Amino acid sequence: MKRLTLIFLLLFHFAGFAQQSINNYKYVIVPEKFSFLKEPNQYGLNNLVQMVMNGKGFTAYVENKDLPKELATNKCNALMADVISRKAFLATNLTVVLKDCQGNVLFTSKEGKSREKDYALAYNEALTNALGSLDTLNYAYNGTTVAPQQATQQVVVQPAPAPQVTEKPVTIINSKEAGQTLYAQATENGFQLIDTTPKKVMTLLKTSLPDYFIADNGIDKGVVFRHNGQWYYEYYKDGKLVSEKLSVKF
């Protein structure tokens, strides 16, 4: 009995330590490309992680893109976000991890899963489910930033120029419906968007994240999400990311 009590106290102590450590960090750095993918921001996953981290109270940046001075000079001022893929038969499994600059894991999400056959849908659904675990953090920045002491003792050398990363261009298409308002009707698992005809234009399925839906317009499958007050429908067509603005009333 005493042994069980000791184990419980140790687990409680380490859980509290991890929470306290995470609250010490204001910033999160998201890599340009996750190791299990072939291209930067493939399927929009890196932008999704950045968007959700910002929504949870962090200030998130994509690595090597417009970092503030305090991060550009010392990345130990930020947590590093990573997504890990576990191969499984007929399933996509993703886990989100937050580490400090020394590689210490401070948070591991639940494993998000999807059985969708379409890669874009499967990765987005699995990642969305995994990111839902961030709600358990109850994150609140406490005004301090942890920077390990050894980071300040390193000899500063002139860094080599960063390699230029060429991303696939995002194809922006103005939707034919962009000029008219679509109306959302609640369904069992989400919404259907209709025009004034009325005709169903698109089906939206809820995810564990607010303002983020799996979408199907009968031809293409993708995601619908709100960013800076504007709704977007994004999907892949002929290997290129297509982004359409939507006018939606819920």
Task: Band the pLDDT of 5: cuts 50, 70, 90.
Answer: very low
Q: What is the mean pLDDT of the chain?
A: 79
pLDDT at 152: 41
CA distance 219 to 176: 14
The total of other beta-carbon atoms located within 10 Å of residue 81's CB is: 24
Q: Which of 100, 61, 64, 50 is nearest to 79 (CA)?
A: 100
Residue type, 70: E
- pLDDT for 55-103, tens place per residue? 889 999 998 877 888 888 888 989 999 999 998 888 999 999 999 989 9
The structure tokens listed for 229 are 């007050």
pLDDT at 25: 92
This model's pTM is above 0.85: no
Q: Which domains does the chain have, with CATH numbers?
A: 17-152 (3.30.160), 171-249 (no CATH)
- Between 69-78, 162-171, 233-242, the lowest mean confidence (pLDDT) is in 162-171
- Between 147-151, 205-209, 237-241, the lowest mean confidence (pLDDT) is in 147-151
CA 199 to chain centre: 33
Residue 105, pLDDT above cutoff 70: yes
> Cα Rg for the chain, rounded, in angstroms?
21
Place of tokens 């994509």: 62
Residue 151, pLDDT above cutoff 80: no
Going by the DSSP 8-state scheme, the letter that residue 48 receives in this structure is H
Residue 115, pLDDT above cutoff 60: yes
CA distance 177 to 137: 39
The structure tokens listed for 66 are 């417009």
User: If residue 212 lies in a helix (H) or strand (E), which one and from where to where?
Assistant: strand 212-216
Residue 158, pLDDT above cutoff 80: no
CA distance 5 to 3: 5
pLDDT at 145: 66
Residue 216, pLDDT above cutoff 70: yes
Q: Which of 80, 75, 112 is nearest to 93 (CA)?
A: 112
Contact (CB, 8 A) for 60 and 30: yes
Question: What does the pLDDT average to over 28-38?
Answer: 93
